[in-house]
Amino acid sequence: MYRTHNCGELRLKNVGQPVTLSGWIQKIRNLGAMTFIDLRDRYGITQLVIDDKSDSSLQNLISGLGREFVVKVEGKVIERSSKNSKIPTGEIEVKVDGVTILNPSEIPPFTIEDDTDGGDEYRMRYRYLDLRRNPVKEALMLRHRMAQEVRKYLDSKEFIEVETPVLIKSTPEGARDFVVPSRMNPGEFYALPQSPQTFKQLLMVAGFDKYFQIVKCFRDEDLRADRQPEFTQIDCEMSFVERDDVLSTFEGLTKHLFKFVKGIEFNEPFQKLSYQDAMKYYGSDKPDIRFGMQFVDLTDKFKGKGFVVFDSAEYIGGICATGCASYSRKQIDELTEFIKKPQIGGKGLVYIKMEEDGSIKSSIDKFYTPEDLKAIAIQMNAKKGDLILVMSGDKKKTLTGLCELRLEMGNRLNLRDKNKFAPLWVVDFPLLEWDEEVKRFFAMHHPFTSPNPEDIPLFDTNPKEVRANAYDLVINGVEIGGGSIRIHDKQLQQRMFEVLGFTPEDAEAQFGFLMTAFKFGAPPHGGIAFGFDRLCSLFGGADSIRDYIAFPKNNSGRDVMINSPAPISSEQLKELSIELRKV
């Protein structure tokens, strides 16, 4: 038997008991008369003590131990003389009678501590050691807890978990599909799903009514800092529902998770914001509403006073930073530099300081009278001590720049507390996006997304204005999930394909089997998918999803631990009826 207890469970009430523990050696302190060892397992740390009166073979063995050795220890629980209130086992220690080395360890390439000296490269190569560190272990335990709670909630709401296939079919639009050559069907390929979209819609046609799955999805794209070629979704679909049925169910799920995983209760409904308002007030379709600082459109107020920068601008907008009138020249310059960074591309920053003495100072005093500025201040609802920051130019670009500036100010003012959560539904997205290059509309979501019913007439007059019956859940400025009500009506689907420039033949080739399925009684349906990796990292208060994935890949899609991908043998290629492309 390897253990009677784990390393996290012994307490004062166990004093006097003989126990057997197994675990890893976290730390050894040899104080001459006494040697203390911290023994670690998943459940915690227990202090072991060996005194110099122990038999010499035990003392010899102890002196040969090192960090990360795996040992089995027999001993007796005793009360500590100097207690450690920082750990749950801190009131006791185990007086050791015998130690068995279960496995020695080489010196690990980095320290197994909360803060490690291991760089990213080493941590990934020796991920199994990195996973021994508390923060990473806890990230994955949080993920486990969340997965269980997601299922508990959805099961209680009569959702059925159905596994959809991983080996599916590549579509002409699937340029970013991973494909898998079929040995049994030479020259043919499976594809890995970017999402189970079609299958979940087929499950609705099949009458499954409420489906969910926590499922791996795959996308072979150039990876941005925080993307992974394989990622996990909470994927759901419901029949006989309208938008608000879906929203209330998944708002319920989100509240359940906050309550049972984080101990945070949301008693109010989540805020809803239209895509239009999100863009207008935050310059983003995923605004961080932990703080206000909404944009105010100052275009009308500022124009026509002879300031050419503003007069020539399509849009002028401002934000009000409470209490920042005291910002120094240097601070203002920093902000100006910030918005001029190439990835933001702002041209310049105008400020208006609402001084404590009631005066107003600004970088555009030359063009605007104190009365002009006061009127602006009133429109901005700026008070004494506040700082108004104004950007101008092309509307789309300026809104984006102002969005970045607002987030930066949020950071500077500590308004983006990781322990505060502000969920938000963004609704009424545009259905279509015009692609100037190929001169046609694309579906912003996918071609099965239903338009808002009242916007259907606009298909003929102004397709750009048609709003989708689609929705995103955004928390703290992070897009957690999105979905839509789907089109279940054949005529409407045909109309949609026309607008997207599909010929009936194109539509048949790309979506044939789904269209066929829809002929046999498709119910009205809609759904949503949450990015599970992202949701976990948000709950864990981390910026990166990396530590919420047990074995992540790097930005080149490579697993440096197992060194994958890798070449395969020519026999294997031959078996699969493929060869490498000669260059």
* Neighbouring-strand partners of residue 180: 190
Tell me how far, at minimum, the Cβ of 533 lies from its own copies, in Å: 9
What residues from 97 to 126 belong to the interface with its own copies (CB under 8 A)? 102-106, 108, 126
| Contact stretch for its own copies (CB under 8 A) within 141-149, 408-416, 438-446, 479-487 | 141-149
- Which residue number, 281 or 548, has a Cβ lying nearer to its own copies? 548
Q: Does 3 bind its own copies (CB under 8 A)?
A: yes
Segment interacting with its own copies (CB under 8 A) among 10-18, 433-441, 450-458, 546-554: 546-554
Residue type, 107: I
User: For its own copies, which is the closer residue by CB, 149 or 277?
Assistant: 149
Under a CB-based contact definition with an 8 Å cutoff, are residues 73 and 90 in contact? no
- Residue 185 within binding range of its own copies, rule CB under 8 A: yes
Write b or e for each residue in 366-383: b if 16 or more Cβ atoms lie within 10 A of its Cβ, otherwise e. Answer: ebbeeebbbebbebbebe
Nearest to 227 by CA among 561, 544, 565, 477: 544
Which one, 223 or 375, has the nearer CB to its own copies? 223
DSSP state, residue 581: P
CB of 448 to its own copies, least distance (A): 14
Which two tokens mark 76? 């007796």
Distance in angstroms (rounded) separating the CA atoms of residues 403 and 338? 12
Using CB under 8 A, which of 27, 76, 95, 137 touches its own copies?
A: 137
Nearer to its own copies, 144 or 418 (CB): 144
Q: Which two tokens stand for residue 162?
A: 């159905």
562 contributes a contact to its own copies by CB under 8 A: yes
The separation between CA 142 and the C-alpha centre of its own chain, rounded to angstroms, equals: 14
Of residues 16 and 567, the one with the C-beta less far from its own copies: 567
Tokens for 278, please give them: 């999100």
Residues 187-226, interacting with its own copies (CB under 8 A):
187-192, 198-199, 202-203, 205-209, 216, 218, 220, 222-223
- Which residues, 469 to 508, sit near its own copies by CB under 8 A? 488-489
Residue among 153, 178, 351, 539 that touches its own copies (CB under 8 A): 178
Based on CB atoms, which residue is closest to its own copies, 33 or 184?
A: 184
Q: What is the three-class DSSP state of 190? A: strand
Q: Which two tokens stand for residue 397?
A: 């670009």
C-alpha angle 287/289/293, rounded to 5°?
95
User: Using the rule CB under 8 A, which residue among 117, 163, 300, 357 binds its own copies?
Assistant: 163
> How many CB atoms lie under 10 A from the CB of residue 501?
12
Candidates 29-37, 165-173, 378-386, 401-409 — which segment interacts with its own copies by CB under 8 A? 165-173
How do strand 92-103 and strand 70-79 relate by DSSP bridges?
antiparallel
The 511-540 contact track toward its own copies, x by CB under 8 A, reads --x---xxxxxxxx----------------
Residue 167, number of CB atoms within 10 A of its CB: 11
The smaller minimum CB distance to its own copies, of residues 415 and 507, is found at 507
Residue in 69, 250, 310, 539 binding its own copies, rule: CB under 8 A = 69
Site string for its own copies, 237-276 (x = CB under 8 A): ---xxx----------------------------------
Q: Does 70 bind its own copies (CB under 8 A)?
A: yes
- Angstrom CA distances, 272 to 399, 531, 557, stand at 20, 20, 36
On whether the CB atoms of residues 231 and 217 are closer than 8 A, the answer is yes
Judged by beta carbon, residue 31 or residue 141, the one nearer its own copies is 141
Distance CA 376, CA 198 (A): 52
CA distances in angstroms from 31 to 68, 179, 260, 383, listed in the order given? 20, 60, 44, 63
In whole angstroms, the minimum distance from the beta carbon of 56 to its own copies comes to 26
- Contact pick of 32, 172, 304, 342 for its own copies (by CB under 8 A): 172
Residue 199, classified by CB atoms within 10 Å of its CB into exposed (0-12), middle (13-18) or buried (19+), is buried
Nearest to 528 by CA among 483, 583, 576: 483
Q: Three-class SS of residue 511?
A: helix
261/413 with CB nearer its own copies:
261
Pattern of binders to its own copies over 274-293, x per CB under 8 A? Answer: --------------------
**Token pair in block for residue 260:** 């049972």
Q: By CB under 8 A, which span of 229-237, 269-277, 342-350, 419-427 interacts with its own copies?
A: 229-237
